[in-house]
Structure 1
Amino acid sequence: MTASVTSEHDTITVHVPLIFAKRGGRKQVIVPDGASSWAPPRARVDNTIVKAIARGFRWRKFLETGIHTTVEDIATAEKINPSYVSRVLRLTLLAPALVEAILDGRQPSDITLAGLMKPFPVEWEKQQCSAAI
């Protein structure tokens, strides 16, 4: 942070370097590395990811109980693309610790729904250290 004072009009100009980033559809202020923060960061629950995970578990229950027998049946009932249903169903394979962190808003800032919709390792140990997740 830098500050300058103009003595003619007693004007103070403060320059604070920061970046605005979108996370879960919300804007988040990111301060530069090494900058002291005036408050500890609050947990931010990414509702977009939470809803997708909940939807995936609901659809998995439909398949397990026989309410729907195929991904195509779910897609037809929900009026969405079968490919999307498959990608959301894959979220049920996330490690329980990662799902808990997402539900609590403790997930790393680089975890997004778009990133989770891409293929990821099904082994829970590999998910914890995977850069994609």
Structure 2
Amino acid sequence: MTRGTPIPETMTLYVPFRIVKRGGRKEMQMPDRVRPERTPDSTLVKALARAFRWKRMLEAGEFVTIAELAEREGIAPSYMTRVLRLTLLAPDIVDTILEGRQGPDVILARLMDGFPEEWERQKKSF
């Protein structure tokens, strides 16, 4: 546009996207042909960080039982054990989550419901 060109009153712009829930948050999802830069799911990353921190604390002997650690953290022991299970994920799946390359169906709620213990079966599930 140049200075002499009148500015239109209304401009309509169409952007194809849909809103999906991911990790308890709403997120914009673009069409398949558009590949935005992927960002890690902060809910999943935080849960993984907690799980590995708690595991390290238990292995170091800072706490004798999960119940003792859960009490200190102010959470239910059952929740802690479900989060601690995340330490059993295959290393490449953990890397995929940390890099934000996991599929849209890989969310914390699904992982908390359980997953196969064997890494090869996990890879087929995810």
TM range (shorter): 0.7 to 0.9
- Provide the residue aligned with 2:72 in structure 1: 77
TM-score by length of 2: 0.82
- Provide the residue aligned with 1:29 in structure 2: 29
Q: Cα–Cα, structure 1 residues 110 and 67, in superposed 2: closer, same or farther, change >3 Å?
A: same
Q: Distance in 2 between matches of 1:30 and 1:127?
A: 27
Alpha-carbon RMSD across the aligned residues, in angstroms, is: 2.1
Q: Residue 16 of structure 1: CA displacement?
A: 6.1
* Residues 21 and 30 in structure 1, CA contact (< 8 A), matched pair in contact too: no
Flag structure 1 segments of 5+ consecutive residues without an equivalent: 1-10
Map residues 1-133 of structure 1 onto 2, 5 A cutoff.
18-24=17-23, 25-31=25-31, 36-37=33-34, 40-130=35-125, 133=126
Q: Residue 45 of structure 1: CA displacement?
A: 0.5
Give the length in aligned residue pairs. Answer: 117
Comparing both structures, which one devotes a greater share of its residues to strand?
1
- Aligned amino acid, residue 104 of structure 2: S
TM-score by length of 1: 0.78
Identity of aligned residues (%): 49
Q: Distance in 2 between matches of 1:52 and 1:93?
A: 13
* Residues 115 and 122 in structure 2, CA contact (< 8 A), matched pair in contact too: yes
Question: Taking CA–CA contacts closer than 8 Å with sequence separation of 6 or more, which of the two structures ends up with the larger relative contact order?
Answer: 2
Q: Cα–Cα, structure 1 residues 19 and 26, in superposed 2: closer, same or farther, change >3 Å?
A: closer
Report the 3-state secondary structure (helix = DSSP H, G, I; strand = E; otherwise coil) of the residue aligned with 1:111.
coil
* Residues 94 and 124 in structure 1, CA contact (< 8 A), matched pair in contact too: yes
